[in-house]
């Protein structure tokens, strides 16, 4: 494709993605009373706990089979089984996820066999152990996330009676976003199973009785009955078919699948609401009409300011798509799109519009920075790593996505639905205004008193 | 509330029997009557127990090698390990030439499936070429992640070939995450290579000043070493190099010229300290620049070592000046902190170092421990001959050095050395346990489960640890203080650092946030009212 920018360097310098098991952990944090263990060196789980704690500001418990040199030679089976024993005893979870790491994959550990054998040995065949092969060298955290969701459904879902529920599969968004999606569903009076629901577990209210496993999360019984649902809405149009949980439910159980973009932006939210209306046959309540009207008002209020924005949008593919659409419908020019993942088919997604976009996949921030300079970008929208664009190029950053580790409140950033879009758009406009106001006098002075032509 | 063996038993009973037996050996309740108490440490982590320990890669690249500012540090492996060790330790550095400071960057070979199958050596070699072309660093480090060792990439050969091509040092660290039992293995690996390849590679033969020193095991978290250096320079010391906070490859090469090595973090750097003594005859002194008293004691011990009356006098002057300035401030904070209790569970030295500073503020450390320390960090170096080496520690080779024929120079006479050793911790570290009071708990490799159980019984007022347990503790309604990254604060070392620390923990204690934990409808009615006797009114 013409506009796809190719990176000819070998150096990955300041990467734009994290590793596959990290993404795989997140869905397990959105299941009720669930634990997860990484099969590999303990450093992996320590690093990822540390990293996720910084974003969510919550306790992140991830076990490790703590393999050492001996394990690399003789296999890590014994360690993994011991680890499962200990997690069961101390945490008493209803489900355990087993993710692999580079180490386990490279030495060829067969976690399916080990987990099957384990359950037989312990005479607990019904216990859900969900295995997810996540070698970091094969894909990024985005793919790890969806593969984990798919494997959870594959393990739990069973042929079930038809019911009135709608399955909602969500990508890696903030707990606040999940709560907003649930509010919309409840506002439409739609019964649903949302997976994975880490809205409470990863943004838990303070209570006086803190438990080892947080409250909340998608109920396992609900996941079992997902095949009986009326339909599946997968907020993931960038997800490859082989990773798509919705596709699995459609192919294996015939659940009709609606693949929609994340409801960020007016059109994307319209699509979501309209689909809910179509599936349920229910009318859209007045409340949402008002919210939509306020969003329109917000868009009109800001449109002249927004027209000056030339943006780079980076992060996970699904978010990049939704944010880019939001920029487009508000007159902000998204010139550079960047993701650390391989899977971003911008041509299909944007149609004609795509010829105006520079698209970087599997990229790093050094490359992003270089292209931003070429394209005169004046606004960055994405996760905390974009701080380098601010530090080096003075491009202001609107924080959204994962990870947010240099500010508090990554778990509380709300951007979906009409209401979330209003807040998101205001953040963008105000960033542009702040930039403009802080440079206004000096640029006027330079232009009219010194005669220097500045951009 | 204190804890006794019976209560400990109850906590441990929640484990499977084997785990209980194992963990019991890692927990000691201090009993002075018993004399020396043994604790198990530096053994394998129990799978499935949520430990705070990291891996060899974290100890090598993340801790010891990573802070060297004028080198480019390449991580050979899939993207995760490089990403997670990207600027996360807050080891600060400044360079006169900003183009020679690469700490803000994260370099990864970003191995893909095909690299795992066909090997990643070529990719690494090309990456080194590009790094040299773009950044012109003085030297490059290459750190291995788990798959590298497993697929058999020969880092040393790639590094050697690259050295030939570019004429700069390329250091290969085989610090795959599965080596050893914790990050401690990585420290050792890093120590060996730095000693073998870098230290002594410089041309300087003589120290520029009588009082030339190295600071070992100081990583300049939040600017700690800048505060320490300020005081040392004031007294008249010349700091040759800091290992490795704000450290530079160029300075490290000349570490052999120092007259004395100071050891701050014993665990991560004692190997180099010992080897420097054998190879160049430079003794090392255990110091602790955390807390006012400990800082003063360390400064006095240094002066004792050099034994120069002028230096001793200057030391006292600086101490007097600094304490006069900060003591009134500390006294104010002490009013807030007095009578409180703390848990202090950090790394390999800070679990011990911070107890003194807490005590100065009137805070008693009732539970302490290390993540990845060895028995000598708890029981003192005298125990070293008794420590049996196991398969895991044998996997990390010891580097055997011999006296450098040209550069070995006895810095002080044997008699003086023997005499000094009686007075100051020269070549010695007495460990944490001897500083702890009766009834206090020492826990090695504390995990999430035990954290909660101990908190429930001992109810500390503050929990000093890292970000992984920070939110567990805060959810339990107790303020936490991150002593890995200092919660984006610092410095905490030296005189000014003590004040900053006092300010930070006082903020934690006095923050009104904690007053709102119980909602008003839970413990008292929102509106106070009483039935009024109509006639009386």
- Mean pLDDT over B281-285 rounds to 98
- Euclidean distance between CA atoms A96 and A36, whole angstroms: 5
Q: Cβ contact (<8 Å) for B177 and A103?
A: yes
Domain A166-285 has CATH 3.40.50.1980: yes
B55 reaches A (C-beta below 8 A):
yes
Task: State residue B537's pLDDT score.
Answer: 42
Hey, what are A440's tokens?
């206004």
Contact B476, A62 (CB under 8 A): no
What mean pLDDT value characterizes chain B? 94
- Phi, psi dihedral angles at A187 (to 5 degrees): -65, -35
Smallest Cα–Cα separation from A198: which of A90, A36, A326, A20? A36
- Residues in chain B within 8 Å Cβ distance of A59: 448, 469, 471-472, 475
Asked if the domains at A20-155 and A287-442 fall in one CATH topology, the answer is yes
The number of angstroms, rounded, from the C-alpha of B119 to the middle of its chain's C-alpha atoms is 35
Are B349 and B294 a contacting pair, CB within 8 Å?
Answer: no
Mean pLDDT, to the nearest integer, of B307-324? 98
Query: What SS3 class is residue B407?
Result: coil
| Residue A26, pLDDT score | 98
Instruction: Answer yes or no: CATH 3.40.50.1980 is held by domain A287-442.
Output: yes
Contact A11 B123 (CB under 8 A): no
Residue that has been written with the tokens 């120069």 in this structure? B308
Q: Say what the pLDDT of residue A11 is.
A: 74
Contact A21 B80 (CB under 8 A): yes
Using CB atoms, pick whichever of A14, A69, A86 lies closest to residue B47.
A86
Beta bridge partners, B145, equal none
Q: A19 forms bridges with which residues in the sheet?
A: A140
Mean pLDDT of the region B486-500 = 96
Contacts 24+ apart (CB under 8 A), B422-426: B423/B301, B423/B304, B424/B285, B424/B301, B424/B304, B424/B305, B425/B285, B425/B286, B425/B301, B426/B283, B426/B284, B426/B285, B426/B305
Checking DSSP bridges between strand B107-108 and strand A12-13, what pairing results, if any?
A: antiparallel
| pLDDT tens digits, one per residue of B182-212 | 999 999 999 999 999 999 999 999 999 999 9
Per-residue tokens: B299: 């400064």
Instruction: State mean pLDDT over B122-145.
Output: 96
Element (H or E) spanning A132, and its range?
A: strand A129-132
Residue A293: burial class (beta carbons within 10 Å; 0-12, 13-18, 19+): exposed
The Cα–Cα gap between B519 and B504 comes to 27
- B58 catalytic? Reply is yes
Q: What pLDDT band is residue B529 in, cutting at 50, 70 and 90?
A: low
Residue B82 is a catalytic residue: no
Q: Which residues of B touch A12 (CB under 8 A)?
A: 79, 82, 107-110
Where residue B130 falls among pLDDT bands split at 50, 70, 90? very high
For residues B317-335, average pLDDT: 98
Task: Test A89 with B14 for CB contact under 8 angstroms.
Answer: yes
Q: What average pLDDT does range B357-370 have in this prediction?
A: 98
Nearest CA in chain A to B20: A86
Residue to substitute from A7, A11, A14, interface B, most B β-carbons within 10 A: A11
pLDDT at A439: 79
Concerning whether B185 is annotated as a catalytic residue, the answer is no
- pLDDT band for B536, please (50, 70, 90 cuts): very low
Q: Which CATH superfamily is domain A20-155 in?
A: Nitrogenase molybdenum iron protein domain (3.40.50.1980)
| Alpha carbon distance A308, B526 (integer Å) | 52
Instruction: Tell how far CA B161 is from the center of its chain.
Output: 34
Surface of B (64-83) touching A: CB under 8 A: 77-83
DSSP of A281-308, one letter per residue?
-PPPPHHHHHHHHHHHHHHHHHHHHHTT
Return d(Cα A31, Cα A95) in angstroms, integer: 8
Handedness of CA A247, A250, A255, A258 (dihedral sign): positive
Residue A446, pLDDT score? 83
Residues of chain B with pLDDT > 70, as a percent, come to 97
Q: Are strands B441-443 and B238-244 parallel, antiparallel or unpaired?
A: unpaired
The Cα B324–Cα A377 span in angstroms is: 54
Domain ranges, ordered by start, for chain A: 20-155, 166-285, 287-442
ipTM: 0.90
pLDDT at site A359: 93
Q: Which domains does chain B have, with CATH numbers?
A: 56-178 (3.40.50.1980)
The residues of chain A scoring below 70 in pLDDT are: 1-9, 454-455
Eight-class DSSP state of B175: -
In a mutational test of the B interface, the residue from A14, A29, A37, A43 whose CB has the highest number of chain B CBs within 10 Å is A43
Closest CA to A395 of A354, A319, A335, A450: A335
Name the residue in chain B with its Cα closest to that of A209.
B476
């Amino acid at each position: 494709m013409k506009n796809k920018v190719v990176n000819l360097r070998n150096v990955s310098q300041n990467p734009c993605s994290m590793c596959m098991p990290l993404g795989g952990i997140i869905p397990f944090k959105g299941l009720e009373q669930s634990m997860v263990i990484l099969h590999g060196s303990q450093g992996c789980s320590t690093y990822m706990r540390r990293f996720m704690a910084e974003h969510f500001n919550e306790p992140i418990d991830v076990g490790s089979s703590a393999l050492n040199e001996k394990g690399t030679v003789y296999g890590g089976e014994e360690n993994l089984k011991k680890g499962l024993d200990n997690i069961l005893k101390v945490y008493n979870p209803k489900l355990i996820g087993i993710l692999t790491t580079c180490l386990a994959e490279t030495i060829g550990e067969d976690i399916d066999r080990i987990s099957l054998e384990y359950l037989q040995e312990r005479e607990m065949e019904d216990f859900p152990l969900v295995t997810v092969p996540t070698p970091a060298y094969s894909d990024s955290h985005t793919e790890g996330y969806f593969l984990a969701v798919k494997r959870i459904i594959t393990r739990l879902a069973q042929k079930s009676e038809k019911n009135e529920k709608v399955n909602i599969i969500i990508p890696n968004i903030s707990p606040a976003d999940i709560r907003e999606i649930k509010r919309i569903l409840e506002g439409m009076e739609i019964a649903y199973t949302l997976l994975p629901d880490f809205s409470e577990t990863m943004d838990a209210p303070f209570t006086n009785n803190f438990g080892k496993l947080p409250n909340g999360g998608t109920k396992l019984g609900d996941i079992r009955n997902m095949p009986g649902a009326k339909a599946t809405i997968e907020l993931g149009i960038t997800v490859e078919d082989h990773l798509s949980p919705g596709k699995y439910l459609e192919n294996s159980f015939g659940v009709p699948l609606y693949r929609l973009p994340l409801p960020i932006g007016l059109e994307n939210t319209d699509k979501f609401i309209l689909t809910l209306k179509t599936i349920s046959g229910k009318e859209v309540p007045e409340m949402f009409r008002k919210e939509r009207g306020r969003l329109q008002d917000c868009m009109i209020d800001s449109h002249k300011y927004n027209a000056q924005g030339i943006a780079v949008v980076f992060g996970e593919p699904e978010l990049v798509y939704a944010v880019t659409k939001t920029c487009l419908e508000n007159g902000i020019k998204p010139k550079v799109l960047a993701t650390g993942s391989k899977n971003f088919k911008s041509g299909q997604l944007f149609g004609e519009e795509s010829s105006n976009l520079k698209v970087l996949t599997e990229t790093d921030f050094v490359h992003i920075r270089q292209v931003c300079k070429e394209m005169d970008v004046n606004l960055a929208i994405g996760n905390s790593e974009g701080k380098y664009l601010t530090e080096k190029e003075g491009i202001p950053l609107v924080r959204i996505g994962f990870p947010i580790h240099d500010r508090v409140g990554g778990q509380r950033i709300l951007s979906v639905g009409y209401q979330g879009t209003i807040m998101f758009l205001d953040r963008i406009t105000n960033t542009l205004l702040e930039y403009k106001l802080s440079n206004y006098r000096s640029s006027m002075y330079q232009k009219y008193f010194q005669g220097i032509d500045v951009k | 509330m204190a804890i006794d063996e019976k209560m400990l038993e109850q906590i441990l009973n929640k484990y499977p029997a084997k785990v209980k037996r194992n963990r019991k050996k890692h927990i000691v309740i201090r009993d002075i009557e018993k004399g020396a108490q043994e604790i198990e440490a530096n053994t394998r982590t129990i799978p499935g127990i949520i430990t705070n320990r990291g891996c060899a890669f974290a100890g090598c690249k993340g801790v010891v090698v990573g802070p060297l500012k004028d080198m480019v540090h390449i991580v050979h492996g899939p993207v995760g390990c490089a990403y997670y060790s990207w600027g996360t330790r807050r080891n600060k550095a400044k360079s006169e030439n900003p183009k020679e400071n690469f700490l803000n960057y994260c370099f990864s070979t970003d191995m893909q499936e095909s690299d795992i199958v066909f090997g990643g050596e070529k990719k690494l070699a090309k990456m080194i070429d590009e790094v040299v072309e773009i950044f012109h660093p003085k030297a490059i480090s290459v750190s291995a992640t788990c798959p590298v060792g497993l697929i058999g990439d020969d880092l040393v050969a790639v590094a050697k070939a690259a050295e030939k091509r570019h004429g700069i040092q390329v250091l290969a660290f085989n610090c795959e995450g599965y080596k050893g039992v914790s990050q401690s293995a990585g420290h050792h690996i890093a120590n060996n290579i730095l000693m073998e390849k870098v230290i002594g590679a410089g041309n300087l033969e003589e120290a520029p000043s009588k009082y030339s020193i190295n600071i070992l095991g100081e990583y300049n978290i939040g600017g700690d070493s800048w505060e320490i250096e300020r005081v040392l320079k004031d007294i008249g010391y010349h700091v040759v190099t800091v290992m490795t906070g704000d450290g530079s490859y160029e300075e490290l090469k000349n570490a052999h010229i120092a007259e004395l090595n100071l050891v701050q973090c014993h665990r991560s750097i004692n190997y180099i300290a010992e080897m420097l003594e054998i190879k160049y005859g430079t003794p090392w002194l255990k110091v602790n620049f955390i807390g006012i008293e400990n800082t003063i004691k360390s400064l006095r011990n240094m002066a004792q070592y050099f034994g120069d009356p002028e230096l001793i006098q200057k030391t006292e002057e600086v101490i007097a000046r600094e304490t006069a300035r900060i003591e009134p401030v500390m006294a104010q904070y002490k009013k807030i902190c007095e009578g409180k209790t703390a848990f202090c569970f950090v790394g390999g030295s800070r679990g011990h170092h911070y107890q003194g500073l807490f005590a100065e503020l009137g805070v008693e450390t009732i539970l302490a421990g290390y993540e990845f320390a060895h028995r000598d960090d708890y029981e003192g170096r005298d125990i070293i001959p008794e420590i049996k080496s196991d398969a895991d520690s044998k996997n990390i080779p010891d580097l055997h050095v011999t006296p450098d024929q040209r550069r070995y120079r006895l810095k002080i006479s044997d008699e003086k050395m023997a005499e000094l050793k009686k007075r100051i911790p020269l070549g010695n570290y007495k460990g944490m346990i001897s500083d702890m009071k009766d009834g206090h708990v020492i826990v090695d490799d504390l995990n999430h489960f035990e954290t909660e159980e101990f908190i429930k019984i001992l109810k500390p007022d503050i929990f000093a640890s890292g970000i992984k347990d920070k939110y567990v503790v805060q959810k339990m309604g107790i303020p936490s203080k991150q002593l890995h990254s200092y919660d984006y604060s610092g410095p905490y070392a030296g005189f000014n650092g003590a004040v900053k620390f006092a300010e930070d923990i006082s903020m934690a204690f006095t923050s009104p946030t904690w007053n709102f934990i119980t909602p008003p409808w839970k413990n008292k009615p929102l509106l106070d009212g009483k039935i009024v006797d109509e006639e009386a009114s």
